Structure 1
Amino acid sequence: MIYGSCLCGSVTYEADCDPGLILHCHCQTCRKAHSAAFSSVMPIAFDAFKWTSGEDLLSHFESSPGKERYFCSRCGSQLIAERRSANMIMLRMGCVDTEITQRPDAHIWRSDGAPWYDPDHDIRQLAEGYVKA
């Protein structure tokens, strides 16, 4: 079972499945929607997913034909994307509460990747805090 929630904790879900593929998506819509270089997702079967609280607080947006992105209207957290025609839910890994220990499987849509982010470049890793400019 996989559990997840939004930043404010008002919207929660569960997915009755084992962890699957983890993908870092670099497509332009994921980058814009998450204000980041990529979005980390885990595709699961549509039937494995259910909202457990806060469904009335959800908003959604069709970011591309047939793809709905669901987010909390209170805190803005993107929780999932849904592709009904593919029988698929994409869990947004940043909102997964269950500890997932496996490593990502692939970077996808690198053709759309942000030019300022290179997944092969080693940079400093800090345990906490900010770096002074």
Structure 2
Amino acid sequence: MITGSCLCGQIRYELNSPPQLINNCYCSICQKAHGAAFGSFLHADVSGFKWKSGENLITTYSSSQENSRNFCSVCGSNVPVPEIEENSVVIPAGTLDCDPGIKPVVHIFTGSKPSWYDISDSLPKFDEFPSEQWYTEVLNSQKKEIPGEK
């Protein structure tokens, strides 16, 4: 089980489904929301996600037509966004309380990367979103590496 919380600890959650991947996003919205060069997000099946406490403290902001961001109304931390229609949950990786057992696999929206930050690893880099085919291939390769998953 993976657990996480906001900075003040009032919002807590758990994830009982295997994480699918972590991405690092350099879009200008993530930079503003995280106050950093990028945001890191763990993606998983929403069926294994559960709020443990503080759900009433969540405030939602629509950062674009496609995305909403949840944050704690007390401390301002980004918190997970369950996407029921997409059957996924997007979890800000910085809110994890434990090791999820996976590492980032991609840098996205690198076309918006700030000039003062250099990416120093060999992960794939995309100026925008990778193709659905790329994501499918990554998810299929990740499943092969998880014992008991097919």
Smaller-chain TM-score range? Answer: 0.7 to 0.9
Number of equivalences: 121
Letter in 2 for 1:48: G
Deviating above 6 A after TM superposition, structure 1's stretches of 4 or more consecutive aligned residues are none
SS state at 1:22 partner: strand
SS state at 1:10 partner: coil
Letter in 2 for 1:11: I
Note the alpha carbon deviations across 1:23-64, whole angstroms, 9 max, x for none.
111111111111110001011122221211011111110111
Task: Give the Cα–Cα distance (whole angstroms) in 1 for the partners of residues 29 and 96 of structure 2.
Answer: 21
Letter in 1 for 2:55: E
Instruction: Describe the shift of the 1:85–1:93 C-alpha distance in structure 2 as closer, same or farther (beyond 3 A).
Output: same
1:3 corresponds to: 3
2:46 corresponds to: 46
Task: Give the Cα–Cα distance (whole angstroms) in 2 for the partners of residues 31 and 106 of structure 1.
Answer: 16
2:37 corresponds to: 37
2:143 corresponds to: none
1:1-133 equivalence runs, <5 A: 1-120=1-120
Task: Give the Cα–Cα distance (whole angstroms) in 2 for the partners of residues 72 and 113 of structure 1.
Answer: 26
Pairwise CA RMSD of aligned residues?
A: 1.7
Task: Give the Cα–Cα distance (whole angstroms) in 1 for the partners of residues 66 and 112 of structure 2.
Answer: 20
Task: Give the Cα–Cα distance (whole angstroms) in 2 for the partners of residues 67 and 51 of structure 1.
Answer: 20
Task: Give the Cα–Cα distance (whole angstroms) in 2 for the partners of residues 82 and 43 of structure 1.
Answer: 10
Instruction: Describe the shift of the 1:83–1:109 C-alpha distance in structure 2 as closer, same or farther (beyond 3 A).
Output: farther
Instruction: Describe the shift of the 1:82–1:29 C-alpha distance in structure 2 as closer, same or farther (beyond 3 A).
Output: farther
Structure number with greater CO (CA < 8 Å, separation at least 6) is 1
Post-superposition shift, 1:101?
4.1
2:4 and 2:12 in contact (8 A); partners too? yes
Instruction: Describe the shift of the 1:26–1:110 C-alpha distance in structure 2 as closer, same or farther (beyond 3 A).
Output: same
Instruction: Describe the shift of the 1:60–1:91 C-alpha distance in structure 2 as closer, same or farther (beyond 3 A).
Output: same
Task: Give the Cα–Cα distance (whole angstroms) in 2 for the partners of residues 53 and 23 of structure 1.
Answer: 26
Compute the TM-score of the two structures, normalised by the length of structure 1.
Answer: 0.82
Task: Give the Cα–Cα distance (whole angstroms) in 2 for the partners of residues 96 and 76 of structure 1.
Answer: 16
Compute the TM-score of the two structures, normalised by the length of structure 2.
Answer: 0.74
1:5 and 1:96 in contact (8 A); partners too? yes
Unaligned runs of 5+ in 2: 122-150
